[in-house]
Structure 1
Amino acid sequence: MDTYPRILQTVIDATDVRRTAEFYRELFGLEYRPGDEPPAEGDEDDVDWLVLRGTDGGHGLAFQQAEELERTTWPDPEVPMQLHLDTSVPDAEELERQRARAEALGATIVLDRTDDPEEPLYVFADPEGHPFCIFVGD
């Protein structure tokens, strides 16, 4: 038997589901699942679960409401990462372009390892404090 479950999406807890979904929608060029789009201006947005999909049908991200999250202290092990996303870009120029985009969207740099000739990378924290990496690689 050669069948396996297919990974549909990664679920990320958030104290502000819409804000976190918007951050990743902009960062990765994802689209809302039909029905999860932001409400019309002036309408209340009381959501506790949202799903984003890749425009090419790729891996999705989902966001679920959490009343409280303890922000990771990584690289200090007191509060571990708990989850992180690895993403890649083809070269150092694109890495810098994506760094600027991530920061403009509200990410903060946790680790700058761009001087590593083997695998230049940034580790960021999203607005909720979840870490994610952007590195040069395949």
Structure 2
Amino acid sequence: MNSSILRTMARLLASLLLLASLYLLWRGHNAPGGGFSGGIMAAAAFVLMAVAFEPMAGWRATRVSPLVLIPLGLGIALASGFAGVLAGDGFMAGQWVTVAVGDGVKLGTPLLFDIGVYLVVIGVALAVIIPLMGEEE
């Protein structure tokens, strides 16, 4: 598609979609949202870039091949499960640490699991959708 309006708006909207996806990812372990919904929103941003420019533009915008994001995300999600085992609890038992930022921010393995899901969802969505648009890397 050769529209300067679409290309200009795609850059702006993709940035906003990515920012909103990170918000959903961050809030997801305490409120509605999480890795899946954040990942779908991020994938939508990359697909928007693919529609506005060319199919491979969405693939390249990730900076890392979506085919690398899938095993990376799976590894992160699996590692979050073993953190409980290493601490003497069961597999997928939540482990928490407080980081001294302001009044203290509690970070835990549920967020790590959500990050893994986030990466897997982006990778799978782009690995399926971009080739369907007509170009493969």
TM-score of the alignment, normalized to the shorter chain, above 0.5: no
Greater share of strand residues, 1 or 2? 1
Larger Rg: 2
The alignment's TM-score, normalised by the length of structure 2, stands at 0.23
Greater share of helix residues, 1 or 2? 2
The alignment's TM-score, normalised by the length of structure 1, stands at 0.22
Tell me which of the two structures has the higher relative contact order, counting C-alpha pairs closer than 8 angstroms and 6 or more residues apart. 2
